[in-house]
Amino acid sequence: MTEHGENFAHKDGMDTDELTKMAYETISLAHEVLDVLHLEIGSSAKKYKTEDEFLRGTLINLKEILADPENYLDSWSYLETVNLKSFVKGIEILMSHVEKTLKKPQHERGKTAF
């Protein structure tokens, strides 16, 4: 809170530092799938006010990627260099992690990552 009583904690949405351990692992797992994917997911946190909103939004994004993985890879100029089957498998693993995280109550997801 500022000296004027204003609270800017969520002015621009969440910060990844506010994510629980399990939710933050989503970003780490995304990095294992594709370097730009973790940047994309991490930066999307600012669009959401809560961790569950962030996870649901991430899940929607992952489903869109899975619907047309070639287009996603091509949009980042990775179509020629990334194995499509491995990429799809990585997205599926990531989606499974997000779904598992959403099913757990937030207080059981571990403390914030930082």
pTM: 0.84
- DSSP codes joined into one string, 50-102: SHHHHHHHHHHHHHHHHHSHHHHHHHTT-TTTS-HHHHHHHHHHHHHHHHHHH
| Half-sphere exposure of residue 50: CA atoms within 13 angstroms, side-chain side | 5
Contact 41, 61 (CB under 8 A): yes
CA distance 15 to 8: 12
Per-residue pLDDT of the chain in tens (114 residues, 90 and over written 9)? 333 333 334 456 888 888 999 999 999 999 999 999 999 999 999 999 999 999 999 999 999 999 999 999 999 999 999 999 999 999 999 999 999 999 999 889 988 866
